Structure 1
Amino acid sequence: METQLPLLPLRGVLVFPYMVVPLEVGRERSLNALEQAMLGSQELVFAAQKDTRLDEPTKDDLYEVGIIGEVKQLLKMPTGGAKVVIEGRSRAIIHKIEDEGTYFRADVEEVAEDTEITDETEALMHAVVDLFELYVKNSKKMPGEASLSINVDDPGRLADTIVSSLDIRTAEKQEVLEIFSAHERLNKVSDILSRQIELLEIEKRINVRVRKQMERTQKEYYLREQLKAIQKELGENDDHVGEVEELQQRLAAMEGLSDEVHDKIAREIDRLTKMPSMSAEAVVVRNYVDWLLSLPWTVQTDERVDVAEAERILNEDHYGLKKVKDRILEYLAVRQLSQSLKGPILCLVGPPGVGKTSLARSIARATGRNFVRISLGGVRDEAEIRGHRRTYVGAMPGRIIQGMKQAGSNNPLFLLDEVDKMAMDFRGDPSAALLEVLDPEQNNRFSDHYIELPFDLSHVMFITTANVLHTIPRPLLDRMETIVIQGYTEEEKLHIAAQYLWPKQMENHGLTPEMVEMSRQATAAVIRHYTREAGVRQLERQLGTISRKVAREIVQGHRGTVHITVSNLAKYLGPHTVHHREAEQADEVGIVTGLAVTEAGGDVMPIEVTTMPGKGRLNLTGQLGDVMQESAQAAYSYIRSKASDLGIDPHFHETLDVHVHVPEGAIPKDGPSAGIAMATAMISALSHVPVKAHIAMTGEITLRGHVLPVGGIKEKTLAAHRVGIREIILPKDNAPDLEDLPANIRRGMQIHLVEHLDTVLELALSEKIVREKVGTEK
């Protein structure tokens, strides 16, 4: 029998018979249908939409089988919608839907439920219940107690209850709703449950596989993150592929490589690609390739060969040092004419502080070469020069190859500092390893143990520095061109201080010429009374001390210019720290002014001799070295052999003891250059003839009285000039050394060149004592 009831379209939800379902109603037509039902029997027809996306469905958009339900509770919401609780009563076939304008009305036919239960149906019910329990057990979306609520004896109602609780599409539920036979409905639900259980199994397998994959991925991710953190702390990078590509690109960018070098690098990169990135061998190979690619195999800087410009730069940076400047300018002149000249190997020898290292920097600037310096002081391992073989842990190239990498070109100026201070032990002799480096005939294929490829050093300008020559092995010294840089004279120091050191210290301490002014006499006083050195390091320190104290004065409120003069110099530097010996003022018996060379330059050295009754002993005091003692013995023996000719008692050695003393006994002294001075002092003491106070001397003496040449003529002459002595006696063979003296010193000094002690005595003693001319002894 057909009845007319208001129709309420359902979107995304389905109502089954005997089910109580809460709904939210918000659409205008649905609310109007609800109101019509409440005015009558409170019954409605519920039909599901075929397309849930439609907001305003038409009658063609609704299924033809629905549910007749009763409104149990209605609650209108302030927002305009309504909440309603409905109970499904029975299935209904919708024959006709009429649009009333504000809602739908449907002609429906109620379908009676099939309640017949056969044995087959009962068995099917048990099977469906078991399937549902299995589904609930495997499904994570169904609560465990859901299976307990399936306690229904009616087969149709059982099917409806189970399908309504399944998480399936609305269309599938509608198919079940449209099956009126309970047995067929159970079959349909059984199929749905079987398929859902199968899907759950598949989903479970997928989940297990995904979970394992995720666990593995998460584990790898976690480990990689840990590895990255460790590498970050170690400063490493695990981007192995990127590193290999970068190395290959660097190799491709290098031009002019020899086939030997290119093939070696390419083979090592190929080896690296086949190794695990974190293996120990890969790290070794990667470092090795990086070294090979970092070396300047073919990179050269443009060398400046402008002799005039180079001379200007050298004179701008250093005062004096004529010999070494001339040698560099000669080299540049030859380079301007011939490009095939190999780099020179110079050895600058001189006392500390004369500017050997800074001179090398100026040469690099003057020639336009890159500058690199390594210090060889204390080096005692041959591997420091040639490197370690790669089989050793932590192997590295030697200092030569490291210096070439630092220079960034294959024609730098390479300074080997303190070459005289290398040592040797069980690890080898580093000076022997330098023989190949400093040999122009061999160093075009220098072999480093780590690099294992010949590297061309023939374009490098090597400069070595040393304080003394006697500690340099002879084969190594033979490969170098020695240029001796002597200590500066007071005049030169004065010029250096005024032109270089004082302006530098003022700039370093924030001073300007308006703030402080230092007189030339004050600078000379600093040089003479506060420094004792051949170079200018101590002088620079003293000028720095003055600058600091002046800066403090200015900061504390001093107004005007601070004037540094001789009278107030002690305020800044304290009492004199260096006391120079002055020349003897009067002629005295047994006292001779000798000349000596120390690490601080030249100095005068008074030699005192006295005689006393005794048994002919010769006492030598003043901490004299072996050579100096032997020189005194030679002078004593000569005097004994020539006593009669010298106007001395021939038997003095039986009745008199002779005591030779050199003052400042705490300072060690050695060398043969005081021979004629000690002989003259002994003869004066034994003959009681005074020695002229205004004369000084130096020279070695033989047993026959000949005077032999000595070193340090320039320094000794300057020392005599400094203390006011204007007449000196020098060996005749030292005449060429006088060329090194400044012209004003040569003009202001009377220099006697002698060959024999007799001439020395004629010049030095105030009275003539030689009885007869002593010829050449056979």
Structure 2
Amino acid sequence: MDKYKAKSNKRTIPLIPLRGLSIFPYMVIHFDVGRDKSVNALEEAMVNDSLVFLTSQKEAKIDMPTEDDFYEVGTICKIKQMLKLPGDTIRVLVEGINRAKVREVLQDDPFFEVEVEELVYESEIQSDKEMKAMMRLVMDNFEEYVKASDNLSSEILVSISEITEPGRLADVISSYIQLNPEDKQKVLEAFNPYKRLEVLHIMLEEEIEVLEIEEEINSRVKDQINKVQKEYYLKEQIKAIQKELGQEEGLDAEVDDYIEQIENINMPEEVKEKSIKEAERLRRLSPSSAETGVIRNYLEWIIELPWDIQTKDKLDIKKSRKILDNDHYGLKDVKERILEYLAIRKLAKNMKGPILCLVGPPGVGKTSIAKSIARAMNRKFVRMSLGGVRDEAEIRGHRRTYVGAIPGRIISSIKKSGSKNPVFLFDEIDKLNSDFRGDPASALLEVLDPEQNNTFTDNFLEVPFDLSKVLFLTTANSLNTIPRPLLDRMEVIRISGYTEDEKIEIAKKYLVSKQRKEHGLTEKNISISDNTLASIIEDYTREAGVRELDRNIANVMRKAAKRIVEEKIKSVKVNKRTLSKYLGTPKYRRNETKRNDQIGIATGLAWTAVGGETLSIEVTPMPGKGKLQLTGKLGDVMKESAMAGISYIRSKTKELEIDEKFHSNRDIHIHVPEGAIPKDGPSAGITMATAVISALSNVPVNGDVAMTGEITLRGRVLPIGGVKEKVLAANRLGIKKVLLPWDNKKDFDEVPDKVKKNIDFVFVKTMDEVLEHALVEEKKDDN
């Protein structure tokens, strides 16, 4: 129930709907009238008592409103003045009298005529304490609003402070503040003065809060603008000073150039943001600061890296095969694997590249085939030698805090290649070392993992670089020294040594022409026959690869060139008879390996990092107390193989016709010549056992037989590795028969056909079969 009394009064009056305008009592305002109905309502009002009812339209865009399109509550106004403007528009000056509510629309044509009810509250209600408190609150709000607003003068407060009527106070204040039409309507609809003040108080509080936020935003923007203007002014001054000093290209121009270059490179957003941030930091530094050089170096590295540059792969399998065949003789497995990769790349464009590890003895063409792969794929080629690398920073780079810091050799090589997808060769990966500076092999784990290397982060750059497009190749002589996690990431392709026939073909097709060109000679100047090449291979080299052969051919070329210049002759023919004049006395002879059948000496076959080798194992029994002595720098595994062989012999003394007490009355000395070279592995087991049996039984070992295999305590012969390399070593030395473990039959396909014709291969399961082929049948009497 309303605690304040009001008088009700009804009257009939013309109505004009206003668009976007609200009028309060006590408010004097002018507006323009143009609609026919509104003009007719004005004329009707002027004929009577000059009173008109003004209310707001709900939607300002409606041109011909009906009774549902305007609010019921509006203001009864007195028309003070009318002025006709050009274009049938009338400007009206009105004064608000009192608010009223439409009770009934009496007519809507030719103008709106309505019956309204107005409520007039008694003026004594301002004596109520609650009302006084509310009036004071609203006044305080309005004062705060005026202070926060730039649109109102403080003089308004003087005139409003003199108002004592609460309703009038609310209406006058409402006319000054900026409210949206809906909020103004809420104030207008509050007939109760207290309620009207309460609604206004809430609205003022909200408006003050909004004004404070606006002021805060404006202040922040102004400070920012002032800062920018200040910086611009100072920069212009610096430029003017630099111009006067003849230094027009200052640090700012340099930084702007860096930023422009960075913006033009298609690099990851993370990299771009960090690079621009570093460039802006350079702008803030003093030109004389030591750090400017560090940042310049960093930005230049970022800009010069091939973030968005890559070569287009050639995926023509036939042409690629032709290139590989032209560059290298043999190496069938490697070539086929590369061609498989190219075929899959053609079908699956986004396939991640394999990490190929080429393993084989020196001089077989591991490094050069990597170059051929790059040529076949139309990619750039970069090589990084890992031999002796001990510092992890070689891989990952140094942090910028170090003086003279640079990126690691991987990023450096990528930059040098100018492409983000080169063929990248890690040469001699088995020669990596580690010390207090870190473990480079562990740093390579990320690089050589296709699942991780798309975000490789160099310590110097501190941002990820995508290495997933790079085709990584590695080379090694042996897999034994490569850490197992690193080896697990690579696909191993073994490259065996060459036969003599293959070496002759390689020399004819590649080495002779290469050395001839390097020494300034032509085919007319020098000719080397196939027999001569065979003699060089047989008499002057003993290797798995062709590096020593290449050096000997170069030696021949040098001496031939000297003769041509010194003796003024046009051509030189090098044949088998005259070869010693160029290369000296032969270093090796095939018949050197042709030994007589000897007691206690057996020929074994071993695999080393430089290819296959033969081992001449010697055994001498002596009177003693059963002591076993092993010399020749043998490893633990080889020593254990010798002990296993002795135990087998002790268990078979009767069958072997050996003194049962040899283990207690005789010492046995096993020696492997070339004692300076470390030797290890179980594959010499049957060779040592054969030599011991021969020495104890006085039965000679066939000098034309070589063998390899691991021995067990029961005399079984177990399989070994490196069959092809070992067989090639035996072939080089003219061995006629080779004993291999039965389980190594699966590796026999790797052996070249010509070698199969030269050597008689016997696959054995037990030591009994070994002795059957190794020992000479005729026994010799003890001396």
Say which SS state the counterpart of residue 739 (structure 1) adopts.
helix
Q: Report whether the alignment pairs 1:293 with 2:297.
A: no
Per the alignment, residue 251 of structure 2 pairs with: 240
Q: Deviations over 1:535-584 (max 9, x none)?
A: 22222222111111111100012434311122222211122234567444
**Distance in 2 separating the partners of 1:667 and 1:283:** 52
**Distance in 1 separating the partners of 2:608 and 2:703:** 23
**Distance in 2 separating the partners of 1:587 and 1:533:** 26
Match of 2:262 among 232, 246, 251: 251
Aligned residues: 539
* Contact 2:497 2:728 (8 Å CA) reproduced: no
Match of 1:304 among 297, 310, 314: 314
Distance 1:282 1:766, change over 3 A: closer
Per the alignment, residue 574 of structure 2 pairs with: 564
Following superposition, the deviation at residue 740 of structure 1 comes to: 1.2
* Contact 2:392 2:440 (8 Å CA) reproduced: yes
Per the alignment, residue 326 of structure 2 pairs with: 316
Distance 1:604 1:427, change over 3 A: closer
TM-score by length of 2: 0.65
**Distance in 2 separating the partners of 1:594 and 1:376:** 33
Say which SS state the counterpart of residue 435 (structure 2) adopts.
coil
**Distance in 1 separating the partners of 2:259 and 2:353:** 33
Following superposition, the deviation at residue 620 of structure 1 comes to: 3.5
Per the alignment, residue 761 of structure 2 pairs with: 751
Q: How does 1:691-710 map to 2 (within 5 A)?
A: 691-710=701-720
Q: Deviations over 1:428-473 (max 9, x none)?
A: 2222221111111111111222222221111111112222222222
Distance 1:271 1:657, change over 3 A: closer
Say which SS state the counterpart of residue 653 (structure 2) adopts.
coil
Q: How does 1:372-771 map to 2 (within 5 A)?
A: 372-578=382-588, 582-584=592-594, 586-665=596-675, 667-767=677-777
* Contact 1:591 1:607 (8 Å CA) reproduced: yes
Amino acid at match of 1:315: D
Say which SS state the counterpart of residue 616 (structure 2) adopts.
strand
Per the alignment, residue 70 of structure 1 pairs with: none
Amino acid at match of 1:708: L
Following superposition, the deviation at residue 379 of structure 1 comes to: 2.4
Per the alignment, residue 13 of structure 1 pairs with: none
Distance 1:592 1:470, change over 3 A: closer
Q: Deviations over 1:669-697 (max 9, x none)?
A: 43322211221222223223333333221
Q: How does 1:54-69 map to 2 (within 5 A)?
A: none
Say which SS state the counterpart of residue 644 (structure 1) adopts.
helix
* Contact 1:506 1:512 (8 Å CA) reproduced: yes
* Contact 2:603 2:614 (8 Å CA) reproduced: yes
Distance 1:608 1:436, change over 3 A: closer
Distance 1:606 1:424, change over 3 A: closer
Following superposition, the deviation at residue 424 of structure 1 comes to: 2.1
**Distance in 1 separating the partners of 2:527 and 2:262:** 59
* Contact 1:534 1:599 (8 Å CA) reproduced: no
Say which SS state the counterpart of residue 592 (structure 1) adopts.
strand
**Distance in 1 separating the partners of 2:375 and 2:251:** 41
Say which SS state the counterpart of residue 377 (structure 1) adopts.
coil
RMSD between aligned alpha carbons? 2.7
Amino acid at match of 1:359: I
Gaps of 5+ in 1: 1-219, 229-236, 770-778
Q: Deviations over 1:107-131 (max 9, x none)?
A: xxxxxxxxxxxxxxxxxxxxxxxxx
Q: Deviations over 1:198-233 (max 9, x none)?
A: xxxxxxxxxxxxxxxxxxxxxx99x989xx9xxxxx
Per the alignment, residue 215 of structure 2 pairs with: none
Say which SS state the counterpart of residue 605 (structure 2) adopts.
strand
Distance 1:688 1:444, change over 3 A: same
Q: How does 1:45-194 map to 2 (within 5 A)?
A: none
Q: Deviations over 1:154-212 (max 9, x none)?
A: xxxxxxxxxxxxxxxxxxxxxxxxxxxxxxxxxxxxxxxxxxxxxxxxxxxxxxxxxxx
Amino acid at match of 2:742: K
Distance 1:290 1:695, change over 3 A: same
**Distance in 1 separating the partners of 2:753 and 2:733:** 18
Distance 1:613 1:341, change over 3 A: same
TM-score by length of 1: 0.65
Distance 1:292 1:745, change over 3 A: same
* Contact 1:700 1:709 (8 Å CA) reproduced: yes
Amino acid at match of 1:395: A
**Distance in 1 separating the partners of 2:284 and 2:576:** 77
**Distance in 2 separating the partners of 1:313 and 1:573:** 34
Following superposition, the deviation at residue 664 of structure 1 comes to: 4.3
* Contact 2:627 2:666 (8 Å CA) reproduced: yes
- Larger radius of gyration, structure 1 or 2? 1
* Contact 1:349 1:468 (8 Å CA) reproduced: yes
Taking only the aligned residue pairs, the percentage that are identical comes to 56
Distance 1:427 1:721, change over 3 A: closer
Amino acid at match of 1:251: I
**Distance in 1 separating the partners of 2:615 and 2:484:** 33
Amino acid at match of 1:576: P
Q: Deviations over 1:706-731 (max 9, x none)?
A: 11122221122122223333321101
Distance 1:393 1:766, change over 3 A: closer
Distance 1:485 1:224, change over 3 A: farther
**Distance in 1 separating the partners of 2:263 and 2:686:** 73
Q: Report whether the alignment pairs 1:266 with 2:301.
A: no
**Distance in 1 separating the partners of 2:412 and 2:540:** 41
* Contact 1:622 1:664 (8 Å CA) reproduced: yes
Following superposition, the deviation at residue 241 of structure 1 comes to: 4.5
**Distance in 2 separating the partners of 1:723 and 1:351:** 18
**Distance in 2 separating the partners of 1:450 and 1:431:** 19
**Distance in 1 separating the partners of 2:523 and 2:438:** 55
Following superposition, the deviation at residue 484 of structure 1 comes to: 2.0
Say which SS state the counterpart of residue 606 (structure 2) adopts.
strand
**Distance in 1 separating the partners of 2:539 and 2:758:** 23
Distance 1:390 1:617, change over 3 A: closer
Distance 1:322 1:590, change over 3 A: same
* Contact 2:263 2:272 (8 Å CA) reproduced: no
Per the alignment, residue 343 of structure 1 pairs with: 353
Q: Deviations over 1:458-510 (max 9, x none)?
A: 11111122222222221111111122222222222222111111111111111
**Distance in 1 separating the partners of 2:424 and 2:288:** 37
**Distance in 2 separating the partners of 1:426 and 1:739:** 46
**Distance in 2 separating the partners of 1:272 and 1:304:** 43
Following superposition, the deviation at residue 659 of structure 1 comes to: 3.7
**Distance in 2 separating the partners of 1:471 and 1:670:** 14
Distance 1:530 1:599, change over 3 A: farther
Amino acid at match of 1:552: K
**Distance in 2 separating the partners of 1:632 and 1:724:** 27
Distance 1:281 1:586, change over 3 A: closer
**Distance in 2 separating the partners of 1:672 and 1:239:** 72
Match of 1:279 among 258, 282, 289: 289
**Distance in 1 separating the partners of 2:446 and 2:258:** 31
